[in-house]
Amino acid sequence: MKKLLLAFVMLCGICSMHAQEYFPKNDGVKTTNNNYTALTNAKIFVTPTQIINNGTLLIQNGKVVASGKTVTIPKNSVVIDLKGKHVYPSFIDIYTSFGVEKPKRAPGGGRSTQYDASREGFYWNDHIMPENKAIEKFKYDSKKAKALIASGFGVVNAHIEDGIVRGTSVLVALNSQGDNSQRILDQNTAQHLSASRSIASNQSYPTSIMGTTALLRQLYHDAKWYEAGNSQTKDLSIEALLANKSLPQIFDAGGYQNDLRFDKVGDEFNINYIIKGGGDEFARIEEIKNTRARFIIPLDFPLAYDVTDPYHASKVSLADMRMWNQAPSNPATLAKNGVVFALTTSELNKISDFKSNLMRAIEYGLNETTALAALTTVPANFLGKENEIGSLKKGAYANFLITSGDIFDSNTTLYENWVQGQKNVINDMSVKDIRGNYDLTINSKKYALKIKGKVTKPSVEITSGEAKIGSKLTYTNGWVNLFYNPSGGKNEYVRLTAAVTANDNLNGKGTLTNGNTINWTAVKTKAFKEKAGKKDKKDSPKLSPVTFPNKAYGFKELPKQQTILFKNATVWTNEAEGVMKNADVLVKNGKITQVGTNLSARGATVIDATGKHLTSGIIDEHSHIAAASVNEAGQNSSAEVTMEDVVDPDDMNLYRNLSGGVTAMQILHGSANPIGGRSALIKLKWGEGSEGMIIDNSPKFIKFALGENVKQSNWQSFNRFPQSRMGVEQVFMDYFQRAKEYDIAWKEYNALPAKTKARTKAPRYDSELNTIAEILNKERFISSHSYVQSEINMLMKVAEKFDFKVNTFTHILEGYKVADKMAAHGAGGSTFSDWWAYKNEVNDAIPYNAAIMHNAGVLVAINSDDREMSRRLNQEAAKTIKYGGVSEEDAWKFVTLNPAKLLHLDDRMGSIKVGKDADLVLWSDHPMSIYAIAEKTIIDGAIYYDYQEMQKMQEDIRKEKNELINMMIQAKNKGVKTRLPEKKADKELHCNSL
């Protein structure tokens, strides 16, 4: 297919289109051509499922007039006999930037961050551009069209690939002979959106994916409000968004996590995005299927790694190796699960890779009818253009392919691609097939001549008796040129040439090695027989099984709830019973059902816990693992964003945290802003998707932050308010006051009698103020990053002014200085055990902080804010015994019951009590001993981590990697392109990560 480009010839004028009939003509006479073209005796795929054997396709003026078995051919028809050939609708790619120039990157903004929009009269955010129209930038790209046509495409849909809301696309027929008056099928086909901000603007918001989801939500709220006529001002973006409302909405999500993320945003506003995926959808196919969304799927499969250097190979992760192995199965998996999708050339390095990658997808199990539909009827349907494109029904554009046979067979030749009735020759189908066996006689010496390979580019083999003779054959424009070296050794050749005629034999002139001219003949003895296509004989490739998540330590099947009876354990109840020796605990249906001695339960898995300790699971009040982003740093308040949007269930640190006995955590927004984002409270159910991890009916939390991070002390940034602790207070005063007014406005509006309400303009919904109002209404709790005593005191005073309490101060390293005030206010403290000396504001951080606060009556927890430390919070709790002499039972509560209380989850978690969730850890030793190992970590009664299992999985990982490495070496030996091995870059996220 690659080489076909070379053979590409454009032929004009066979059934030329007319210039617009009302245009004047000064270079000749006006002509009209209403002739028909009839393509007869072909196997016609009217649609992927409606197939006519020996049918006729009748076209006129660029459109299909009829397709069927018995079509009356009008007299003014040009008839083309396509006996033995197949006719398919040309392909459609609805996700391209064909002919549309990408915007240029905005020049660097220097040190000062740009917070405001660059435009006037449009939405407040530059990355929202529904008013953009691809048609206004469209310029037909003949070069690109040539490549697309050669790959079988007849129609493409193009948009400006920039920004979050990108405006409308243009649907273009690849009619290189015609002009835009014919090619443009629709100048407002669909509205496009994406997860990426515009490169053309430096406006800082949004810096994160959760900022993007929040921005979209606010936009849709604003549009509704604007539509109702509530706005006093003009917003051209929103007006365009409203005008585009009824169009198909195509969202470039680019990977399974974003697919799910943005599908959910769309659902909230009753918008069914057509989602452009990223090729990894197979890894979470159940969730993808449950979106019921329609997809556009790229075919850019990852290259094999060059793993011939064992050391280099050792750095490649199992996940990356699997991606190479499994990605080609993505379309097949989607199809098998009933997900409707179109295919796109987007993301491919070269359009000419399209066919080979498509063939690979088929080799990996994609059904051919589905593949054809994904290139024809499905994309047409997505755009509501099923009567015009994607099929060969009456009235549709005459966009079709003529092939030598089954289009999904590797031996098949694509001859012609007709677009709007214009023929594009890819491979000349008039070329006579000269392949076969011949007897060649030269100077009475007999040779066996074999011509084989492709019709248009045959190869040759000459033998004399047993001996093979070096030879070469070219076949162009109806002439054959044949060279061979009769002696084998010396550089001397016999050169033969012949014109190909209707006669099967080859006759021509030749020059011998001595320069004498002769006549020669090759008599055909046997015709060439095409071997069956590749796909029929190939074994389908071996696939690594998909695990949850699809990487090392992933589960083949998700852990199930079990009835478990722990016998004879030392049980740390965190309740009045204290630490019970030789006790039993029964777990059933995900709950703790009995705690006592001599328990028994039929059918229970009995775990002998003699000499071991059983505790409730560790809860980390402050974590940033499993987050696709941590800070939305584009504004100084980001209350509108939520970490629930960005929970990343594939983060290996989830499993590593399970290995340290952590069962639940608060994933907090970072500390870039005084008012941060909303939290996600999760259980570490490794293997589940993000929705499955987020705790049902989670109490609502939001991150606040104080001190050096929010005033941007430790990096060069000088133009954002606040730059001092004084300013931090004023940010809070401002937002709380506005939220209060906002809340009152809504309450008043909602209290209006129905009739008055209908006449009254509604307040604008503001996601940010709405969230802050929840704090004022005591529906949402603050966990505030804090260091020095002045700011801690300040936030409590601000809260008291607005009549609410600060729920938790996190870090709170100088909490010990104001512990009495915290206790009086009712704020909890969630602190590090012994971190200090990393910033100026932690100079007075002391490891006795927890003990002092605890003794002063503050509810204290020990947290991590660190993906490594969270794996050993049991040890961090133990440090409070050393520093300040906290009792063992109280110290243990610092990482279990107390964080549960701070998170308002203590009705379900935090202690071993009948009726609570069975979130348990079995320890080899005293849980706060340095020698303790978490042997089993259980969540909701299912075993998510087992120390012994983990070691066994190591062995499985080793074996699977070895197998995949061998497969890659094999692939490289076969000549496939490879790439350098790569080591997964670790992302480490803390409070101040962006």
Partner 1 sequence: MKYLKNIFFGLLVVMNSLVIAQQTPADAQSESILILGATAHIGNGQVIENSAIGFDKGKITFVGTKSQANTDNFSKTIDASGKHIYPGFIAGNTTMGLVEVDAIRATDDDDEIGEMIPHVRSIIAYNAESKVVESMRPNGVLMAQVAPRGGRISGTSSIVQFDAWNWEDAAIKTDDGIHMNWPNSFSRGRWWLGEDPRLVPSKNYKDQVEEVVSFVKEAKAYLNGSQSPRNLPYEAVKGLFDGTQRLYVHVDGEKEIIDAVNFTKENGIKHLVIIGGDEAHKVADVLAENKVSVMITRPHRLPNKEDDNVKHPFNLAKLLLDKGVLVGIEMNGRMNRQESRNLPFFAGSFAAYGIGKEQAVQLITENAAKILGIDNIVGTLAQGKDATLFLSEGDALDMRTNIVSHAFIQGREVSLETHQTKLWKRYAKKFSKK
Q: What is the footprint of partner 1 within residues 700-729 (CB under 8 A)? A: 708, 713-714, 725-726, 729
Phi, psi for residue 252 in degrees, rounded to 5? -85, 100
Which of the stretches 254-262, 272-280, 496-504, 931-939 binds partner 1 when contact is defined by CB under 8 A?
931-939
Contacts to partner 1 from residues 936-975, by CB under 8 A:
950-951, 954, 957, 961
Among 410, 464, 929, 978, binds partner 1 (CB under 8 A): 929
Which of the stretches 177-185, 578-586, 686-694, 983-991 binds partner 1 when contact is defined by CB under 8 A?
983-991
For residue 73, what is the DSSP state?
Answer: P
Distance (Å, whole) CA 325 – CA 956: 17
CA dihedral 42, 45, 46, 48 (to 10 degrees): 170
Contacts to partner 1 from residues 860-899, by CB under 8 A:
867-869, 872, 875, 878-879, 881-884, 888
Distance (Å, whole) CA 150 – CA 372: 16
State the nearest-atom distance from the C-beta of 801 to partner 1, in Å: 11
State the nearest-atom distance from the C-beta of 816 to partner 1, in Å: 5
Among 485, 659, 717, 770, binds partner 1 (CB under 8 A): 659
620 forms part of the interface with partner 1 (CB under 8 A)? no
4 forms part of the interface with partner 1 (CB under 8 A)? no
State the nearest-atom distance from the C-beta of 888 to partner 1, in Å: 7
Nearest to partner 1 of 214, 813 (CB atom): 813
111 forms part of the interface with partner 1 (CB under 8 A)? no
State the nearest-atom distance from the C-beta of 828 to partner 1, in Å: 17
559 forms part of the interface with partner 1 (CB under 8 A)? no
Among 145, 618, 859, 932, binds partner 1 (CB under 8 A): 932
- Edge-to-edge strand order for the sheet containing 662-667? 618-623, 662-667, 680-683
Contacts to partner 1 from residues 296-315, by CB under 8 A:
309, 311-312, 314-315
838 forms part of the interface with partner 1 (CB under 8 A)? yes
Among 589, 840, 962, 970, binds partner 1 (CB under 8 A): 840
Give CA separation, 162 vs 24, 63, 167, 239, 824, in Å.
40, 34, 10, 19, 53
The C-alpha angle with vertex 268 and arms to 266 and 270, in degrees rounded to 5, equals 65
Which of the stretches 68-76, 127-135, 467-475, 930-938 binds partner 1 when contact is defined by CB under 8 A?
930-938
994 forms part of the interface with partner 1 (CB under 8 A)? no
Distance (Å, whole) CA 981 – CA 322: 13
- For the record, the structure tokens of 701 come out as 């939390």
Give CA separation, 542 vs 318, 369, 960, 968, in Å.
15, 23, 12, 12
Q: How many residues interact with partner 1 (rule CB under 8 A)? A: 79
State the nearest-atom distance from the C-beta of 814 to partner 1, in Å: 8
* Whether residue 549 has a cis bond before it, omega within 30° of 0: yes
Which of the stretches 238-246, 408-416, 570-578, 925-933 binds partner 1 when contact is defined by CB under 8 A?
925-933
Are 414 and 401 contacting, i.e. CB atoms less than 8 angstroms apart? yes
From 706, 683, 684, select the one nearest 696 (Cα to Cα).
683
State the nearest-atom distance from the C-beta of 199 to partner 1, in Å: 15
For residue 102, what is the DSSP state?
Answer: P
- Kindly calculate the radius of gyration of the chain based on its CA atoms and give it in whole angstroms: 35
From 3, 180, 26, select the one nearest 98 (Cα to Cα).
180
Contacts to partner 1 from residues 729-768, by CB under 8 A:
729
261 forms part of the interface with partner 1 (CB under 8 A)? no
Among 8, 433, 836, 904, binds partner 1 (CB under 8 A): 836
Nearest to partner 1 of 631, 771 (CB atom): 631
User: In the stretch 145-184, what mask flags binding to partner 1 with x, by CB under 8 A?
Assistant: ----------------------------------------
895 bridge partner residues? none
Contacts to partner 1 from residues 790-809, by CB under 8 A:
790-791, 793-794, 797
624 forms part of the interface with partner 1 (CB under 8 A)? no
From 965, 895, 356, 449, select the one nearest 665 (Cα to Cα).
895
129 forms part of the interface with partner 1 (CB under 8 A)? no
518 forms part of the interface with partner 1 (CB under 8 A)? no
Cβ-Cβ contacts under 8 Å for 430 (sequence gap 6 or more): none
Neighbours of 518 (CB within 10 A): 13
State the nearest-atom distance from the C-beta of 735 to partner 1, in Å: 16
State the nearest-atom distance from the C-beta of 304 to partner 1, in Å: 15
Among 130, 266, 828, 981, binds partner 1 (CB under 8 A): 981
Query: 3-state SS string over 742-779?
Result: HHHHHHHHHHCCHHHHHHCCCCCCCHHHHHHHHHHCCC
For residue 551, what is the DSSP state?
Answer: S
Give CA separation, 987 vs 147, 280, 530, 990, in Å.
39, 20, 53, 10
Which of the stretches 205-213, 341-349, 650-658, 970-978 binds partner 1 when contact is defined by CB under 8 A?
650-658
Nearest to partner 1 of 481, 929 (CB atom): 929
